[in-house]
Amino acid sequence: MTQQNDLEGTRSRKLLRASAASFVRSAVGARRWLRQAIWIWPIVAGLLLTVVGYFTKQTIERSIREDLSSELSTLLEAEVAALRLWMKSQESIAASIANDPTASPLAIRLVEAAQDPSATQASIVSSKDLEAFRAEVGPLLEHYGYMDLLIADTKLRFVAGMKNELILQSVPDADQSILTERVFHGKRSVSAPRPSLVLLPDTNGTVRAGVATMFAWAPLSDAHGKIVAAVGIRIRPQDEFSKILSIGRSGKTGDTYAFNHVGTMVSMSRFEDDLQQIGILRPGEESTLTVALRDPGVDLTRGERPTTLVRDMPMTQNVALATKKEPGVNAYGYRSYRGVPVIGAWTWLDDYDIGITTEQELAEALAPVQWMKWFFWGLIGLLGLASLGIFSVTLFAARLDRKARLASLEVKRLGQYALDEKIGEGAMGVVYRAHHAMLHRPTAVKFLDLDKTNDQSITRFEREVQLTSQLTHPNTITIYDYGRTPEGVFYYAMELLEGRTLEDLVRRDGPVQYRRAIWFLRQICGSLAEAHEAGLIHRDVKPANLMVCTRGGVYDFIKVLDFGLARAVDSEKQSRLTAAGAIAGTPLYLSPEAIENPVNVDARADIYAVGAVAYYMLTGRPVFEGRSVMDILQMHIRATPSPPSALARGPIPRELDEMVLRCLAKDPAQRPASTRQMLASLDQWGIEHPWSQSDARQEAARSSPDKAEITAIADETTFLAKTELQ
């Protein structure tokens, strides 16, 4: 048995040695053959180059298309955001005219006069009310730069305006749905461009009918709050509407335009001259309301002619999907209304009933891919330089990939915002003046200070952005964007304000008139009411955080700044972000409970601060003054303030005097129940003691500084028992 095992072991070892020798001989033979058959190397190199070249091209092309999709979407979002901001401003202007204290009663009387069955166009045109209305509204339109204004009643008739032709004429179908579905339900809106019913000058100065026009509408209410009509201001879409869209043109062939639900362009095309040359437009004709966004099936720019009529052509892919309310992006190509292959992104604005799309010719967008394709195929032909070619391709691909990643990081560093100069610095961050790369919109960008970065400060900084971005009130500072730089520094972009803080205004010009103070307080309470109803407390309401500026032509416009100390009500997690025993805020405007128990303050602490701000506005001095911070804190807790009327230079209505003192009550339960309740009272007093835009303009002209102070949001300040006043 043992001999048999030894024999089998010997036989196995011999077979193993034979197999190993055979493998070695085969390997050596193959190596010799490869050395001798040098011609095979160019073929191998060519095959490897083909494989590497193909997959590299596919990878880079896919990466470029993904980047293009992202860029198109970002560009479209920026255009839509800019367009919405512009439309909101037009709506606000229409609303301001509708709510004008002088023009509004005249407009209501004209609406009532039109309800008389015996009313005629002639009787309304010759009425003194219409003459007075035009005299009042004319300067407003001239101030805002508008050409016309119309009033439409609930019977969908024009009952007043700056032109006689349309009085008692029916509202066009294009505007009827906007009035019945939105404006007469209390909403504001902007209509899509449509042909005008009256003679208007076109872009060439020729006066004719059918010129593109659009309206910003706002409801008109009577003294009982019932909506009785709509006020519309006429807008030339060829001006700001088309100009906003033209900002988003990328490269030499990029175009951004708007269209309606039937697939007709309602803005100006970038290719006006080209469209006349290829026959889409007649000489002197405009693209707005003329160009049908249809796929001709051929490239019209190359002299090719379609075989079907325009009415039988399908809509271009982007327009067809957008009108079905299916937003999207296509970086692989489709045919535009000129027949040129393009890439694009599109969306539908349901609240304005228009679509927006941005496009770029496919050839320009994919020029790097085409160049790369020819480059690789050229290298494949150079089989004699296969090794060098492989190295070159690998190096080139790696270099392109690195550049793409670096470019991507650069884009993500600040998104679409470019820094200009440093304009401010606070306890936690630094603020730079910046501008949007495409819109050139002035912007303030705020960074967290790297030297003071820790988990708690980053959490607070992100919370500031998230809380503030939830607020949409026009008197609250607007957040545009936020993110992190490649180095990990958190930042956000917000609107850049031109004006002065309320603190600077009072320090320079002295106490404000009580009518102006009521106007300011209405805006402050409106902003805080939204925040409080969303469960947010500001906790640092003070004159230095209230910016007085001019916005959309409205003077004495308040912006509430720096929600950096805001926190969510009833949130355990957020309350722990403020250290136990720490006092958050500014001593001159702190409520007693914010001093004694800062963790558990509620919205009534902001009401106390509003009262202190009102006191400062009316008297030119804070509620309490002392030699040290501790003296002032003790006064907030125990001392009774003098009535503002006892210190003010001019008269103060009794009810305003009492409201300020109630806001400054030591017991939160004795203060006004909410800022919304305060706002209701202030609105009523605003009617009884109006502060008009004329008053505001005169005050601005009297007190405007030699050089406007450009102010951005400073960082939040946390008071931790400092020994000096902030």
More confident residue, 437 or 321: 321
Q: Is 540 a catalytic residue?
A: yes
In the set 153, 481, 540, 556, the catalytic residue is 540
Q: Say yes or no: do domains 99-239 and 500-711 share a fold.
A: no
Percent composition of the chain: helix, strand, coil (DSSP 3-state, to 5): 50, 20, 35
In this model, does residue 49 exceed pLDDT 80? no
Report pLDDT digits (tens) over 473-511: 999 988 888 877 765 677 888 888 888 999 999 999 999
With CA atoms as reference, report the closest residue to 68 among 362, 458, 321, 452: 362
pLDDT of 22:
54
CA distances from 604 to 45, 473, 600 (A): 78, 20, 11
Report pLDDT digits (tens) over 571-616: 444 333 343 334 455 789 999 999 888 878 899 999 999 999 999 9
pLDDT of 426:
65
| CB burial of residue 449 (10 Å; 0-12, 13-18, 19+) | middle
In this model, does residue 706 exceed pLDDT 50? no
With CA atoms as reference, report the closest residue to 184 among 224, 150, 153, 161: 153
From CA 496, how far away is CA 444, in angstroms rounded? 5
- Whether the CB-CB separation of 417 and 481 falls below 8 Å is answered with yes
More confident residue, 324 or 389: 324
Would you state the structure tokens that stand for residue 570, as one six-digit string? Answer: 């009833």
pLDDT of 572:
40
More confident residue, 688 or 369: 688
From CA 616, how far away is CA 622, in angstroms rounded? 5
pLDDT of 715:
38
Give the confidence band of 533 by pLDDT, cuts at 50, 70, 90: very high
DSSP 267-335: S--TTHHHHHHTTSS-TT--STTT-B-B--SS-GGGT---SS-GGGSPBPHHHHHHHTT--EEEEEEEE
Report pLDDT digits (tens) over 121-132: 999 999 999 999
Domain ranges of the chain: 99-239, 419-492, 500-711
The 3-state DSSP class for residue 247 equals: coil
CATH topology assigned to domain 419-492: Phosphorylase Kinase; domain 1 (3.30.200)
Report pLDDT digits (tens) over 264-315: 999 999 998 889 888 889 888 888 999 999 999 999 999 899 988 888 999 9
- What is the Cβ-side half-sphere exposure of residue 465, based on CA atoms within 13 angstroms? 20
- Whether the CB-CB separation of 418 and 435 falls below 8 Å is answered with yes
The amino acid sitting at 648 is A
Query: Which residues, other chains included, contact 423 with Cβ-Cβ below 8 Å and sequence gap of 6+?
Result: 431, 432, 433, 444, 710, 712
Least confidently predicted of 47-51, 238-242, 650-654, 669-673: 47-51
pTM equals 0.47
In this model, does residue 425 exceed pLDDT 80? no
pLDDT of 508:
92
pLDDT of 455:
67
DSSP 277-296: HTTSS-TT--STTT-B-B--
- Which CATH number applies to 99-239? 3.30.450.20
pLDDT of 724:
32
The 3-state DSSP class for residue 480 equals: strand
Q: What is the mean pLDDT of residues 363-391?
A: 65
- Whether the CB-CB separation of 532 and 674 falls below 8 Å is answered with yes
CA distances from 561 to 403, 479, 584, 595, 674 (A): 40, 11, 16, 22, 20
Mean pLDDT across the chain, nearest whole number? 81
CA distances from 620 to 514, 556, 623 (A): 12, 18, 10
Place of tokens 């604005």: 349
Report pLDDT digits (tens) over 327-340: 999 999 999 999 99
Report pLDDT digits (tens) over 144-178: 888 789 999 999 999 999 989 899 999 998 889 99
pLDDT of 486:
67
CATH topology assigned to domain 500-711: Transferase(Phosphotransferase); domain 1 (1.10.510)
Cα of 610 vs its chain's centroid, Å: 29
The amino acid sitting at 429 is G
Cα of 22 vs its chain's centroid, Å: 75
| CB burial of residue 468 (10 Å; 0-12, 13-18, 19+) | buried
- Whether the CB-CB separation of 236 and 147 falls below 8 Å is answered with yes
In this model, does residue 214 exceed pLDDT 70? yes
Would you state the structure tokens that stand for residue 323, as one six-digit string? Answer: 């009108």
Give the confidence band of 639 by pLDDT, cuts at 50, 70, 90: very high
pLDDT of 590:
92
In this model, does residue 245 exceed pLDDT 80? yes
Report pLDDT digits (tens) over 438-477: 777 888 888 776 556 566 767 777 777 777 788 899 999 8
Please measure the distance between the N-terminal and C-terminal CA atoms of the chain and give it in whole angstroms.
103
pLDDT of 64:
82
The amino acid sitting at 305 is R
Q: What is the mean pLDDT of residues 182-210?
A: 88
pLDDT of 111:
93
CA distances from 190 to 91, 92, 302 (A): 7, 11, 38
With CA atoms as reference, report the closest residue to 541 among 627, 634, 605, 454: 605
pLDDT of 401:
52
From CA 238, how far away is CA 229, in angstroms rounded? 27
